[in-house]
Amino acid sequence: MFDRVLILSASAGAGHMRAAEAIEKAITQLGAAHEVRHVDTLNFTNRVFRRLYSRAYIDLVNNAPDVLGWLYDYLDQPWKNERRRLALDRLNTRPFVKLLKQYSPDMLICTHFLPAEIISWLKAKKRLKSRQAIVVTDFDIHAMWLCHHYEQYFVPLDETRVHMENLGIPPEKITVSGIPIDPVFAEAKDKVEMRKKHGLEPDLTTILVSAGGFGVGAIEHVITSLFRLRHPVQVAAIAGRNNELRQRLAKFASRSNSQVKLKVVGYTTEMDEYMSAADVILGKPGGLTTSEALAKGLVMVIINPIPGQEERNSDHLLEEGVAIRCNNLPALAYKIDQLLDESKRFKAMRENVRRLARPRAALEIVTKLLSLK
């Protein structure tokens, strides 16, 4: 058992935070530490840096995704630019360094590259004795995740492991664990029971849509396209805390036809149950959402992935045979109908999903860390 564990994420995209929360739950579930704390690293930086770091990513996603993709590729040069990047981070993360010294954990777990490189530098200077584990939260490894001083990397795929080994990371310091998700996604829940519980038809093919991920205006085009489906289906659209979005979707729900029924869902803490109720998930391939969907056995329909990490995630999912991709919304219903027409293909994709899924990734990560003590 560890004495103190500090889990470090960064609120630049929700996935890093959710991965950290999953590991925190796994530590508690396994009784692996006397004390565990999860912090957002950006809360321990100066105000200007924090605003730029968190807002820049969101603004690029919403307003200039092509620029984000170019930047992602430009910075993906292993072991280059790290001195300049580290100098900038050190200048703006002094409160974070103070936190590390005051809390003095025996294990640090990073689900974002920002704290990982600062910790690596402190370990190199012998200013920090804590062990460091780095948890990669997308299927591909980007150069910004690479550090020189750490005890263990946790990665999603064997391909990621091979890539890192060829970059000089020792094989014994890489564990293929999958991306950590809330342990609740490992719990088996009956599909029909979950449909009944959440007001869905028990015998209809069910498509889950995370509506908040498409931005203003785009979700209307998605739903309009789904209304053209030939197969009888029901669509559960998750609007989250966005009341305006929920109201707009409610107008679409009133137009549900005999073939396609639309149910609008607001904020929910039961996403695992909606995934248990579904057959297909439609959305963007973020690392965490994808891993949750795989854990629940869902075939994916990918729409317009964000250039950069989502594009690369998409490539892996298509190659593994667990997803189809639609870049042109007018053809969305056609592509889904084609998939549902081919029952053998759909069955094979679901088998591929089961093969690729790592629902216990968070528990496996904690168990591995305990073995390193």
Average pLDDT over residues 341-369: 96
**DSSP reduced 3-state for 334:** helix
Interval 41-97: pLDDT, tens: 888 887 767 776 767 677 777 777 788 788 778 888 887 766 655 555 555 677 888
Identical fold between 2-179+359-371 and 184-356: yes
Residue 216 has a pLDDT of 46
The bridge status of strand 152-155 relative to strand 2-9 is: unpaired
Interval 85-140: pLDDT, tens: 555 555 567 788 888 888 889 999 999 998 998 899 888 888 889 999 999 999 99
Average pLDDT over residues 147-166: 96
Q: In this predicted model, which residue has the larger pLDDT, 49 or 233?
A: 233
Rounded-to-integer distance, Cα 38 and Cα 305, Å: 29
Return the CATH superfamily for domain 2-179+359-371. Answer: Glycogen Phosphorylase B; (3.40.50.2000)
Residue 221 has a pLDDT of 86
Interval 180-203: pLDDT, tens: 999 999 999 999 999 999 999 999
User: For the structural domain made of 184-356, what CATH number should be given?
Assistant: 3.40.50.2000
Look up residue 81 and give its amino acid. Answer: N
154 phi/psi in degrees, rounded to 5 = -120, 125
How confident is the prediction for the chain on average, in pLDDT? 89
Residue 214 has a pLDDT of 56
Rounded-to-integer distance, Cα 345 and Cα 145, Å: 36
Lowest average pLDDT, out of 148-157, 221-230, 317-326, goes to 221-230
Lowest average pLDDT, out of 264-268, 338-342, 359-363, goes to 264-268
Question: Model-level pTM greater than 0.85?
Answer: yes
Domain map of the chain by residue range? Answer: 2-179+359-371, 184-356
